[in-house]
Amino acid sequence: MIHLLSYIRSFSISSLSIRSLCFMLSLSASIIMVSSGCDDESASNEESAGAESAGVNTAGTNTAGTNTAGTNTAGTNTAGTNTAGTNTAGTNTAGTNTAGTNTAGTQAGAEISGMPPAEWVDMECTDGQFTEVIPAADADINDLFESYSEDSAIDFIYQILARRYPIGRRLVEEGRMGRIGDCVDFFLRDRSSPQAIIRQLTTIVHECGHFADLEAGGFSESFYIITDDVDFSCSGGDTTDRNGNTFARSLINRDAYALEACRGGDNCDFYRQVYLDGDPEDDNFEGGDQGFNSILEETTQYINSLAVGYAFHELYNGSVSERDGILTFLWYITRYLKMAREEYPSSYEYILNNPCWRELTLTLWGRAWLYLELTEGLGQLGINDIAIEARLTDELVAEIDLLRDQQCR
């Protein structure tokens, strides 16, 4: 979602002008927007095919009570802090996350925990044992719509997220306080109505998630906020040219599964132009020059995008590409692992044998399928998702099983 996540670690913050920062930002797959500090030429072309028809339905907001769940402050999983390539993982005592098995309890005011579907995960391993309190999609927000004003836009964002997707509120809050700048200033373009805010909410949470991770990880670690109970800090996941141990993500363009970078149809990879751009062998930095760590960062935020979509799905008219985005990145993960195993053995051994990267990958795989299961049948959250899911063939998904062999068997 943002090209600068790893790139910016190579530069001082002060050396980046707002214009150059805007140029490196790629926006949400749901709705294209430009910050007030950036002109249209700086914006990414990563708008979803058909997303321009997506509106917000203000009718039928469920008034089944207000979920004041708030944020679970039960602590942070520091498991997976990787020092010099060796994971010094401990145990997360908040909900007891041990070796990736998050048995997190319920947040105050919330009642339903979700787990991934058995079809896509191993219930005896990290991915299948992941669980979290699911967003309260029925929490009443009518009062917030009625009291909305442009001046209260940010408070409106905080309150609707607190009621329906509390981790999203945390990401926005932390993403506004970093060295890069205020993520909301960059990505909130239209404050004219609560409906306008809802249209932009997946983008805001997604991009603020990047800002929050970057701020937490600094310039040497890759940090991933998963839930209030689980996060990871891993090192060495960027490319060998960038002081890491992996290879450029754009190289998967050369595999047998690559599809044309086009906007529509079952044989198009809409995300390729944004995320798999560039050539790591030339002298120009582009987003696709980043390594495995950046694939997992985008996966983290596309899960957040889908979670926000689920939390507010009854307000959507038309279709957005939340399911398309995360399914594409699950496809990218499996393709990257297969290429690593077959063509870049040192990178593969690093990922396979590093507890932090291995556990993080499986955790994201499990969390992704949890939300894909929750949103199955919500047609407004996908455009080409059925075709993209079909790309996750047995041959590719077998790469996840190899990680499970190392992690759990």
Instruction: Identify whether 325 is part of a domain.
Output: yes
DSSP 106: P
Residue length, the chain? 409
pLDDT computed for residue 118 by the predictor: 83
**Contact status, residue 49 vs residue 270, Cβ threshold 8 Å:** yes
DSSP 377: T
Strand extents, DSSP E, 191-311: 222-225, 231-234
Q: Measuring CA to CA, which residue among 254, 245, 297 is closest to residue 278?
A: 254
Residue with tokens 């450029």: 248
Instruction: Identify whether 329 is part of a domain.
Output: yes
Indicate the number of domains in the chain: 1
Instruction: Identify whether 40 is part of a domain.
Output: no
Question: Rounded to two decimals, what is the model's pTM?
Answer: 0.79
Whole domain around residue 288: which residue ranges?
4-15+132-408
Q: Measuring CA to CA, which residue among 277, 248, 154 is closest to residue 208?
A: 154
The CA–CA distances, whole Å, from 348 to 64, 87, 89, 210 equal 49, 16, 20, 25
pLDDT computed for residue 252 by the predictor: 98
> Rounded to an integer, what distance in angstroms lies between the CA atom of residue 226 and that of residue 132?
10
Instruction: Identify whether 296 is part of a domain.
Output: yes
Q: Measuring CA to CA, which residue among 20, 53, 55 is closest to residue 38?
A: 20
What is the maximal distance between C-alpha atoms in the chain? 58
Judged on CB neighbours under 10 Å (0-12, 13-18, 19+), 291 is buried
Instruction: Identify whether 208 is part of a domain.
Output: yes
Instruction: Identify whether 37 is part of a domain.
Output: no
pLDDT computed for residue 19 by the predictor: 30
Low-confidence ranges of the chain (pLDDT < 50): 1-110
The CA–CA distances, whole Å, from 370 to 181, 290, 300, 304, 313 equal 32, 27, 13, 12, 16
Instruction: Identify whether 370 is part of a domain.
Output: yes
> Rounded to an integer, what distance in angstroms lies between the CA atom of residue 102 and that of residue 74?
13
Instruction: Identify whether 59 is part of a domain.
Output: no
